[in-house]
Structure 1
Amino acid sequence: MKKIVALLLLITSFAQAQFSVNGTLTNNLETDWVILYRIEGSRQKFVQNTTIKKDTVSIDDEKQVIGTFQFQLPIDTKVGSYRISYRTSGASFVDFIFNKENVSFAFHPDYPEQTTLFSESEENIVYKEYLNEIFKQQQKLDSLQITAIRNPEVDLNTNYKNTLTKINTIHQKYIASTNKMYVQPFIEASLRANPPEIKTTAKEYMSNMTGSFFNNMDFSDETLINSAFLVDRITDFVFYINYSDNIETQQKLYKSSIETSVSKIENLVFKKNVIEFLIGQFEETKNLGMIDFLFENYYDKLPKSLQSDTFKSEKLTLLATEIGRIAPDFSWKENGKNLQLSTLRDAKNYVLVFWSTSCSHCLQEIPQLHTFLKNKKDVKVVAFSLERSDFDWNNLKVTLPNWHHVLGLKKWENKTARTYNINATPTYFVLDANKKIIAKPQTLEDLKTFVEEL
């Protein structure tokens, strides 16, 4: 009997040896799911998923739908930075620290950063309190700084120094109170490196900002590395702090800010992840110059064991047919001769069109394109036809004289079509004499307009 009781107590204590993460969405949400991830630098690893329970409550005599969710974490759950994600676009996540304690918070799903309020978890509560206190004083300091730049004749030095002292006092207070807490490295790294004296010109202010941005951040700290903190700050520095309206100047700023950021990182795995993250960011804006810069100057110089041929191939293949790239080469036979796109020298510009004899839009547009370009001697067409067989193609190509005609068998599975990411016909590319892609018109009318302006 005693053994049974002891066993029951053991099972009960084991069942209770877990932690909970409780969330409340203070406004209705279109989705009913939430996913928990563990953050590791620029990456996030799936932990669990659960559903959001919705209920209607009365707030100030108004009916409002709120949602709640809960995750149960085993006793051996790794301490670190975590993220709950609740939709696929827009404001979509809340980050928090887990350090072997229950975590409870509420937030508005449309404004998570501004509204998240922790009611349980000492680590998260103290960090949120620190950020709120520092933000108020930093906002005042920034306001004084802006006023000084706009009105340099006004003496604001005393007010500035007093506010700066308050910021440093608050910071030291929280450093002392978080001794041996997991959150302390975040507090240490969150303090802005404000200049000891007010700056009276925008140039001086920005010079100090860019020169001291990372001063309080320890890039060797494992706690910071295994969170979104450093990646978020690098994102701010590269894409927001170093900004210019001039495209050429902006490219130079990107390069210098990347050099500054990456040079801070000694952990090679983290460095690799940051470089891949930046490549992904520039991929979204199709900034080919910066993607090439990152590969050539940083990714390719990582130890071979850390490089991923698959990652590099996927990125470069995906962007192979973007404007600014040299069109991927291919060859074909024409009138008994072997021809190659890269070696054509019979025009100043080329229209490369992927079409098909089984495509009704093509059968309407291709003859129109032929008529439009008939008298434009400096523009030559390379018509790449995606077919299952050559029967219809042989009959139709003779109605389109003075074009280069290429037969692409296997249709959508054709190797060249896949290289060019062709998923619809007709698809147009305009190339210069060197076969660099200079336009990707969406419609025949867009193509006509562009060619007229060549």
Structure 2
Amino acid sequence: MIKKILPFLLLFASITYAQHTIKGFMSPKIESDWVIIYKIEGTKQAFVNNTTLKTDSLSIGGVNQAVRSFEIKLPSSAKSGSYRATYRLEGAGFVDFFYNKEDISFIFNPDYPQESIAFTESSENILYSNYINQSSNAQQKLDSIQVAVLQNNNLNLKDDYQKAYINFKAIQTQFEKEGVNKYVEPFIKASPRKNSEKLITSVDDYLFQMKNTFFDRLDFSNEKLINSSFLTNRILDYIFYINYSDDLKEQQELYKTSIETVLSKIKSDAYKRDIIQFIIEQFEASKNLEIIDYLFENHYSKLPISIQDQKFKEEKMALFATEVGRIAPDFSWQENGKTLKLSTLNDAENYVLVFWSTSCSHCLREIPELHTYMANKPNIKVIAFALENDAFVWETYQKTNLSGWHNVLGLKKWENKTARTYQINSTPSYFVLDKKKQIIAKPNEIKDVKDFLDKM
């Protein structure tokens, strides 16, 4: 009896604890020395493993070429899903692939990773890669005919379009059949655009059709799609490319409308939170405070309190607290026996807030220059916030050199609470404020201060 059961136990053990290998080859070779494997989980990445890159020789087109390569064994506990191999911190520095309990091998150009990746091992990835290549070519054929007609309505390309449309549908049907019960099945189903069955002759009608069918195949409740870059890439396309205008004011409204559309598709509060955070981080690069505020006020703050990430919210609010357009964070100080506050100052039309220090050589050169320059600007008041470790030198300096200014002492220097709020990491740092204490400029140097004020 034991002899009969033993082979099954050995087979079960080999299946349960099998480890699979990820092999990658980069051509042309690059200078990077490392690669990290992550599992994509929603809008985040979970570390799996890492290794160093080797220099190898590989036959490409019958010619031996120097390549960079890596080989990583996934832990036996690794789950099926979307994975990412990262080899650079900036630019095009990663490739995505699917793992479903099989060895994977691929080669790619590290400067154009996703466009060039070719799989030599892994039935799942080979299938999906073939699908993407064939469906993309078929889509390009359809688009070329459609664009030609939009540019010239007199062209008679109905038959050509119909043939291309039938071909595209056939490719989609073929791969959907081949993908049944495979990990990539939902990706194949979700990938194609919904093309019109007939040629469209109006640009407005074409754009309307594209926008209004964009999400028809996307299932925002599918865990495989959620835990990949697929949905986030589609969201970026919809917000930043499908909804575009050259007019800045109109573009802001398009952003808001497209965000509303995206978020209306998501039923899970936890996933909606992650997507809102993801979108906020995209607008962070352009410092689009209007849209960031809109996302926090109209969506993030309306999520259940239990799933809101208060640390994320506080960090982002602090990050943008001193950007142009914000009301300058308030602070108070003692002056001539009185307590003054930035928010209630009312002795000028504009203000220059400068963070400086008596131990800063640049400051000791620029502050006197600013003092001389401001003597001819009676409607502009300077608030000189000195970051010091003690008051001794500052007390003497400000009395003899900075008359007519509001002089503020900030002890603990870089650890000063106000300096941290304003994210001061160098001195001098300048802020120009209007009468309501809204930040209207953040000049880099004294010459930039003068240029800005001279134009007011």
What TM-score results when the alignment is normalised by the length of structure 1?
0.95
The verdict on how the C-alpha distance between 1:311 and 1:15 changes in structure 2, with shifts beyond 3 A counting, is closer
AA matched with 1:452: D
Which shifted more, 431-440 or 47-56?
47-56
AA matched with 1:445: K
The verdict on how the C-alpha distance between 1:177 and 1:10 changes in structure 2, with shifts beyond 3 A counting, is closer
Contact 1:220 1:265 in 2 (8 A): yes
1:374-424 CA-to-partner distances (Å, cap 9, x unmatched) read 011111100000011111111111221111110001111100000000011
AA matched with 2:191: S
AA matched with 1:407: L
Task: Say whether residues 1:69 and 2:32 are aligned partners.
Answer: no
**Which residue number in structure 2 is paired with residue 447 of structure 1?**
449
The verdict on how the C-alpha distance between 1:59 and 1:23 changes in structure 2, with shifts beyond 3 A counting, is closer
**Which residue number in structure 1 is paired with residue 219 of structure 2?**
218
AA matched with 2:23: N
AA matched with 1:411: K
For 1:373-392, list aligned pairs within 5 A: 373-392=374-393
SS at 1:339's partner residue? strand
For 1:256-335, list aligned pairs within 5 A: 256-335=257-336
**Cα distance in 2 between the residues matched to 1:63 and 1:440:** 55
**Cα distance in 1 between the residues matched to 2:291 and 2:201:** 34
* TM-aligned CA deviation for residue 63 of structure 1: 7.2
**Which residue number in structure 2 is paired with residue 204 of structure 1?**
205
**Cα distance in 2 between the residues matched to 1:262 and 1:14:** 41
Task: Say whether residues 1:416 and 2:441 are aligned partners.
Answer: no
* TM-aligned CA deviation for residue 17 of structure 1: 2.1
**Which residue number in structure 2 is paired with residue 407 of structure 1?**
409
1:59-98 CA-to-partner distances (Å, cap 9, x unmatched) read 6898742011111123332111111111101111111111
AA matched with 2:418: T
**Which residue number in structure 2 is paired with residue 172 of structure 1?**
173
Contact 1:28 1:64 in 2 (8 A): no
1:246-265 CA-to-partner distances (Å, cap 9, x unmatched) read 21111111101111111111
**Cα distance in 2 between the residues matched to 1:65 and 1:426:** 50
* TM-aligned CA deviation for residue 223 of structure 1: 1.1
The verdict on how the C-alpha distance between 1:45 and 1:16 changes in structure 2, with shifts beyond 3 A counting, is closer
AA matched with 1:425: T
AA matched with 1:403: W
1:150-174 CA-to-partner distances (Å, cap 9, x unmatched) read 1012122221122111111110111
**Cα distance in 2 between the residues matched to 1:57 and 1:107:** 12
**Cα distance in 2 between the residues matched to 1:159 and 1:10:** 58
Of residues 429, 436, 439, the one that matches 2:438 is 436
Q: How many residues align?
A: 450
SS at 2:311's partner residue? helix
**Identical columns (%):** 52
Contact 1:21 1:70 in 2 (8 A): yes
SS at 2:260's partner residue? helix
AA matched with 1:161: Q
For 1:50-199, list aligned pairs within 5 A: 50-56=51-57, 64-199=65-200
**Which residue number in structure 2 is paired with residue 370 of structure 1?**
371
The verdict on how the C-alpha distance between 1:104 and 1:61 changes in structure 2, with shifts beyond 3 A counting, is closer
**Cα distance in 2 between the residues matched to 1:176 and 1:378:** 75
**Cα distance in 2 between the residues matched to 1:35 and 1:269:** 27
1:260-316 CA-to-partner distances (Å, cap 9, x unmatched) read 111111122211111100111111111111110110111111111110111100011
**Cα distance in 2 between the residues matched to 1:325 and 1:103:** 50
AA matched with 1:175: E
**Which residue number in structure 2 is paired with residue 358 of structure 1?**
359
SS at 2:258's partner residue? helix
SS at 1:18's partner residue? coil
1:6-65 CA-to-partner distances (Å, cap 9, x unmatched) read 89x969958982111111112111111000000112111100001111135676898742
Task: Say whether residues 1:29 and 2:30 are aligned partners.
Answer: yes
* TM-aligned CA deviation for residue 337 of structure 1: 1.0
Contact 1:79 1:98 in 2 (8 A): yes
The verdict on how the C-alpha distance between 1:263 and 1:81 changes in structure 2, with shifts beyond 3 A counting, is same
The verdict on how the C-alpha distance between 1:278 and 1:423 changes in structure 2, with shifts beyond 3 A counting, is same
**Cα distance in 2 between the residues matched to 1:108 and 1:265:** 35
SS at 1:197's partner residue? coil
* TM-aligned CA deviation for residue 435 of structure 1: 0.6
* TM-aligned CA deviation for residue 176 of structure 1: 1.1
**Cα distance in 2 between the residues matched to 1:63 and 1:444:** 58
Contact 1:354 1:427 in 2 (8 A): yes
**Cα distance in 1 between the residues matched to 2:42 and 2:229:** 5
1:162-201 CA-to-partner distances (Å, cap 9, x unmatched) read 2111111110111111111111100000010112222222
**Cα distance in 2 between the residues matched to 1:18 and 1:384:** 61
Contact 1:350 1:382 in 2 (8 A): yes
- Consecutive unaligned residues of structure 2, counting only runs of 5 or more, are none
* TM-aligned CA deviation for residue 359 of structure 1: 0.8
Which shifted more, 63-72 or 88-97?
63-72
- Consecutive unaligned residues of structure 1, counting only runs of 5 or more, are none
AA matched with 1:169: A
SS at 1:66's partner residue? strand
**Cα distance in 2 between the residues matched to 1:347 and 1:199:** 61
* TM-aligned CA deviation for residue 139 of structure 1: 0.5
Q: Alignment RMSD, CA only?
A: 2.0
Contact 2:48 2:74 in 1 (8 A): no
The verdict on how the C-alpha distance between 1:391 and 1:76 changes in structure 2, with shifts beyond 3 A counting, is closer
SS at 1:129's partner residue? helix
